[in-house]
Chains A and B, each alone.
Chain A
């Protein structure tokens, strides 16, 4: 056996247990989503921008944000990408689409999965709606995906 043939590949897997703490601010967002199915954005007291996902400090004014603003379950697709390759850690079987969605009443885009749609029919500017899970756990996948509005 020549040196070139010594090399080979071993399939392995890391399993990394992890606990994510969203903190006081984002916990409120997730609790509201879990218990009442409402989507809360955060409004900057200085510039009035509504952040979705919410953030506790305005990225432009650097002011602390203390006001929640409910945003709609529907919104506009700002951008999207279609994933064609398969990896075991993907959230869906390929092909699947990810979209940046500006919900009604929000000024920023929320990145999430797009579902119930042929990826070929996606268009920037189309209207989409959040599909919430029946059983919610208090994380971002309580929104199953966004689907196009008929």
Chain B
């Protein structure tokens, strides 16, 4: 029935899904410290000694209740990174991310927890495993979300 030349339609649109994210107590304390004090806090397992990020009530390795909170530094050491060349869609804006961009995995000072976030810049000759980095926080309008951290920036030892 479809004769040759039938126009094939395409309907582009953007679905907007507003929602409220409830942090729960432990994630709440973590995000609250970022929002109010530009600090990272984690929980620590008394059995294996891991610092857990995002903080959890029970150690996922030892299955015991964590023994309390530790404050981690906002600086740390880069343990791994990716340079991303695919313009993945940012789900918060619906727009592709500008490429290339870098993701870093950072062991924060004061513990052994690893946090993943964007790195400033994406030049592979300037990003090295073992590099010292620091968190760059949003100065205004922090809301208690991971996006309150803009990125991690590579710093030169001795200057920080």
Contacts and interface: CB of A to CB of B under 8 A. Distances in A.
Contacts of A28: 1-2, 6
A21 B27 CA distance: 40
7 contacts: A13-B17, A15-B95, A17-B13, A20-B13, A21-B11, A27-B9, A31-B7
B9 A15 contact: no
A88 B28 contact: no
Given A8-B32, A13-B17, A19-B13, 5 more contacts: A3-B25, A7-B25, A12-B21, A17-B14, A21-B10
Contacts of B19: 11-14
A6 interface: yes
Contacts of A21: 8-11
B10 A20 contact: yes
Contact of A17 (B23, B28, B94): B94
Interface stretch (B45-53, B85-93, B115-123, B132-140): B85-93
B94 A67 contact: no
A66 interface: yes
A51 interface: no
Contacts of A4: 25
A96 interface: no
A14 B91 CA distance: 5
B47 to A, nearest CB: 22
Contacts of B151: none
B32 to A, nearest CB: 7
B114 interface: no
A6 B29 contact: yes
B5 to A, nearest CB: 11
Interface residues of A, number: 34
B91 A7 contact: no
A27 B6 contact: yes
B144 interface: yes
A67 B1 contact: yes
A18 interface: yes
Contact of A13 (B2, B16, B31): B16
B25 to A, nearest CB: 4
A12 B29 CA distance: 18
B66 to A, nearest CB: 13
Contact of B28 (A7, A24, A25, A68): A7
A15 B21 contact: no
A6 B43 CA distance: 14
Interface string B20-37: 111111111101100000
Interface in A34-50: none
A14 B15 CA distance: 8
B6 to A, nearest CB: 6
Contacts of B2: 24-25, 28
